[in-house]
Copies of this chain bind each other. A is one copy, B any other.
Amino acid sequence: MLGLFDSGVGGLTVVKELLKRSPNASFVYLGDTARAPYGNKSAETIKRYAIEDARFLIDHGATSIAVACNTASALALDALRTTYPSVRFFDVISPSIDATWRLRPKKVGVIGTRATIGSSVYERSLKTISDGAIDIISAACPLFVPFVEENWIRKPETKRIAKTYLAKIRQKQVDALILGCTHYPLLQNVIRSSLQKRVRIVNAAAAILDRIAAEAPELMQDATSPSQTFYFTDATAQTQAIADRWLGKHVPCQTTELL
């Protein structure tokens, strides 16, 4: 069974894509809302949290894990693979790189948390895949995650901050923008309206599902009685509201302790 984790509700954008393709797939989701956000924390803390999150999913039946959090994908993937060598991990970064490369862009914008952007993983991967041919403009957008977790996704204040964060990327006239955080698809309208219309948006949710479909299609098989569980380390009313609205149906969010 597939397990997915994120610092909070952001990974639900990956779940939404999974359910679009396989409404009756079985999976177990963990959002670590009691310790969210991850993106402004240190690499050591992020690794420790990711290892604990994966342990929880393994204990709850996951045999493969989608790291539905760019911050954890950027900083903890090696640690996860070393800690759990028998588990197959899918990250959200490498499929986004492939999807971006297929667009053959000249200039690419990348946005993410401070930790993700600080890791430079997108820059390095895009330089490698394009043999240095792609210009990359990165911008950390550390307040986007709190805005999403607050459900402030259409407010004038959110638009204002998006404009500030994306100013340099807009000015450089990029061809494509990578949403380097699974929370950001929830802000897609605001982000899109801050950039030129022709900019192609690369959303990790579709990219990681393409990867899973290609490499482990059995994880997306529809079951007769699918098991679909949503755990959060702190499932508040806010968490529940965002989950229900984003997934377009009521999904019971359970609070769990990790250890």
By a beta-carbon cutoff of 8 Å, the part of chain A in contact with chain B is 33-35, 40-42, 44-45, 114, 142-143, 146-147, 149-150, 152, 155-157, 160-161, 164, 233-236, 238, 255
Contact = CB atoms under 8 A, between A and B. Distances in A.
A236 B149 contact: no
Contacts of A40: 149-150, 236, 238
A239 to B, nearest CB: 9
Nearest to A152: B143
A34 B47 CA distance: 12
A146 to B, nearest CB: 4
17 contacts: A34-B41, A35-B35, A40-B149, A40-B238, A41-B236, A42-B235, A42-B255, A44-B234, A44-B255, A45-B234, A142-B150, A143-B143, A143-B150, A155-B164, A157-B157, A157-B161, A157-B164
Q: How many copies does the complex hold?
A: 2
A160 B160 CA distance: 9
9 pairs of A and B residues whose beta carbons are closest in the complex: A146-B146, A45-B234, A35-B35, A34-B45, A41-B234, A157-B161, A42-B236, A42-B234, A142-B150
Contacts of A235: 42
Nearest to A37: B146
Contacts of A41: 33-34, 234, 236
A14 to B, nearest CB: 22
Contacts of A143: 143, 146-147, 150, 152
